[in-house]
Structure 1
């Protein structure tokens, strides 16, 4: 590295940096030819925001570079706690908070283990999916916060998980099959145990509180096998009130279940048939990350999307009342192939076709996403376009004359805007969900 560039990055001297750039405008790009060092790493370590901004403006790609120690600039800023630097880096690309470094640690992992609450919050807002990332030991950021006794960070993430219904995060296990509840009990963090069990979701309580780790221990087992300490009795009461059992008790209760109710495929941490009450049945059948295969979920989604496409296509070609079979006048002048409903009630026909076309367009969009990495993808895309053209032609021909053109325009234009509409709906749900959660907890 040019020692002068290193000095500018280390001291945060923005004027000196501008002088170097005036002397050699390509100095940031040519430095990779002579050194493995990155000036952005240096300025991120020292927290020089102005230098970071300038480097990112001239060479945004440097934000993704991993140094020889396995750290990106965001890894370093997150671990040290330079909040403003983190904000600038996330502006370049929010997905940077999922960038894997040494041992698959992400910047969120370092922020959580160090208790950087403001940085954790910023990353979760920028990229909510990062809460589910795991390192080589299969630990999430929540695992690391509990292990390192970072109470504020733990409280923030547990509240976030509860607020945004990410209950699968509470059920995720490390390489020893320890959940966050196992770790909280092992570390004797009564407050953390209360935070986790305050979530009334069946998936969190029914599955998490009696989940078994690789050593065959539930959270209650972990509490009871260690020497008694002050507060252990209160923690045991909290666990038992939440339905916690010892592993031996669970096995004994299962042994009393009739053979046809047992399953060799029942995974540790899943509710047994005895737990499937009407209150938690819906939550039991929800998709759970870590338990359910993503490939199986993708297959199920593809089947559902194909079924919706088929149903809406058939409904579009065979609207209520079907179509006229001949051309003539029977009270109304009609033409063979036109919709009977459209002839008698054009407004009802229009509403039917608008909603049916919306379902057809969205299902086609979902299929396009799910087959995006399939072999022969483009051949399938041609089939989808041909199918859509056939649908548009059919509904346009069957529609009353004054509605044919608007329906044709809607059928062609709507699929083009489905991705943007989907993004807007997701953002709206993310904004409204906290209010709905508050009202649900207050009045229900």
Structure 2
């Protein structure tokens, strides 16, 4: 078998498709022997075939023996794992199209091919894998990590951006808010690793490539990304990242309630400025009526008193109606509806 294996390796290195076919036809039981040899080896025979310049021979092997692509070595790695690590996008695409299920096979470290590509920073491989198997974006390691988490942990900015682009194109933006087992989002991890560029992407600071996640999300230690910065405020990079996050909070606060923060519910959100303007106008109108009645030197004091009491009763009734109406409006309508209805209320009082 050693001689046959050597002959196959030589045929593959020379990209000799006819040589591969010839060996296959001469040895009917060859596949069983190859499988046994692959299981004993650190690297499957097919990965040996997948060397630069050997694409056609490797394709022929995969066509003749598709089982070889799913055979694992002692580390639980298939040919696709190793190709993803090597960054060979063309080979990855070739074998992924033969059997897309291989994209979801895990190794002994609970990693699929996309995880490996993220760790290695192989942007081209990431795009190839996601195009074949988009659901791999949502697969987790045993530590609850997505490929996005792994790219940030390994400081692979290009890989992270490739994953962001693919997640957007496949409408999987929800991945940006996922947490690992420690409760960390990609924003937490980017902050801890002092990756300012990724923080800008993650917080929406970079308007061209923003991903807009909930900035005030807390991890299992109860810390937001900004609190991580504050805990390391003597470090200049942490300080810069803190400024980025603070600006993003100021931009998001009218639009995006932060998950896990005390102000996350609508009941605790400040009223919009149009509502405060309506309230201010009501108070000013009532105050004007009060002072008009109080300082008007009317010849009929009893009539003045009665008019004042009527105004006060009217104010209490209308203000109570206003508060209840606007509370229900605020809880159940969107921002545009609140603005329009607030103005209707304003017109009612004026």
TM over 0.5: yes
Aligned to 2:194: 188
Give distance in 2, aligned partners of 1:170 and 1:31.
Answer: 43
Question: Cα–Cα, structure 1 residues 107 and 3, in superposed 2: closer, same or farther, change >3 Å?
Answer: farther
Question: Cα–Cα, structure 1 residues 176 and 44, in superposed 2: closer, same or farther, change >3 Å?
Answer: farther
1:95 aligns with 2:101: yes
Task: Tell me if structure 2 keeps the 8 A contact 1:220–1:236.
Answer: yes
Aligned to 1:70: 76
Post-superposition, which runs of at least 4 consecutive aligned residues in structure 1 deviate over 6 A? none
Question: Cα–Cα, structure 1 residues 126 and 34, in superposed 2: closer, same or farther, change >3 Å?
Answer: closer
Task: Tell me if structure 1 keeps the 8 A contact 2:191–2:238.
Answer: no
Aligned to 2:8: 8
Q: Give 1:57 deviation, angstroms.
A: 0.8
Aligned to 1:214: 220
Give distance in 1, aligned partners of 2:196 and 2:36.
Answer: 54
Q: Give 1:122 deviation, angstroms.
A: 0.9
Aligned to 1:273: 265
1:17 aligns with 2:20: yes
Question: Cα–Cα, structure 1 residues 143 and 2, in superposed 2: closer, same or farther, change >3 Å?
Answer: same
TM-score (normalizing by structure 2): 0.64
Give distance in 1, aligned partners of 2:182 and 2:233.
Answer: 22
For structure 2, the 5+ residue unaligned runs are 251-257, 270-350
Question: Cα–Cα, structure 1 residues 275 and 123, in superposed 2: closer, same or farther, change >3 Å?
Answer: farther
Q: Give 1:47 deviation, angstroms.
A: 7.1
Matched position secondary structure for 1:102? coil
Give distance in 2, aligned partners of 1:4 and 1:230.
Answer: 61
Q: Give 1:214 deviation, angstroms.
A: 1.6
Give distance in 1, aligned partners of 2:37 and 2:169.
Answer: 49
Q: Give 1:106 deviation, angstroms.
A: 0.5
Give distance in 2, aligned partners of 1:270 and 1:5.
Answer: 65
Give distance in 2, aligned partners of 1:6 and 1:269.
Answer: 63
Paired residues for 1:259-270 under 5 Å: 268=260
Aligned to 1:126: 132
Give distance in 1, aligned partners of 2:267 and 2:79.
Answer: 47
Q: Give 1:129 deviation, angstroms.
A: 1.0
Task: Tell me if structure 2 keeps the 8 A contact 1:98–1:130.
Answer: yes
Q: Give 1:98 deviation, angstroms.
A: 1.5
Give distance in 2, aligned partners of 1:66 and 1:52.
Answer: 17
Task: Tell me if structure 1 keeps the 8 A contact 2:148–2:163.
Answer: yes
TM-score (normalizing by structure 1): 0.51
Q: Give 1:183 deviation, angstroms.
A: 0.6
Give distance in 2, aligned partners of 1:99 and 1:196.
Answer: 29
Q: Give 1:151 deviation, angstroms.
A: 1.2
Question: Cα–Cα, structure 1 residues 162 and 85, in superposed 2: closer, same or farther, change >3 Å?
Answer: closer
Question: Cα–Cα, structure 1 residues 270 and 140, in superposed 2: closer, same or farther, change >3 Å?
Answer: farther
Q: How many residues matched?
A: 253
Paired residues for 1:7-406 under 5 Å: 7-9=7-9, 12-13=13-14, 14=16, 15-33=18-36, 36=39, 37=41, 38-44=44-50, 48-198=54-204, 205=212, 208-226=214-232, 228-243=234-249, 268=260, 272-274=264-266
Over alpha carbons, which structure has the higher Rg?
2
Question: Cα–Cα, structure 1 residues 191 and 109, in superposed 2: closer, same or farther, change >3 Å?
Answer: same
For structure 1, the 5+ residue unaligned runs are 245-265, 278-444
Matched position secondary structure for 1:210? coil
Cα offsets for 1:210-241 (capped at 9, x unmatched): 11112221111112212533343332222122
Cα offsets for 1:34-72 (capped at 9, x unmatched): 662442133246773223201111111221222222101
After superposition, the CA RMSD in angstroms is 3.0
Q: Give 1:170 deviation, angstroms.
A: 0.9
Cα offsets for 1:160-212 (capped at 9, x unmatched): 32343312211111121111110111111111111122299xxx75x631111
Matched position secondary structure for 1:108? helix
Question: Cα–Cα, structure 1 residues 149 and 95, in superposed 2: closer, same or farther, change >3 Å?
Answer: same
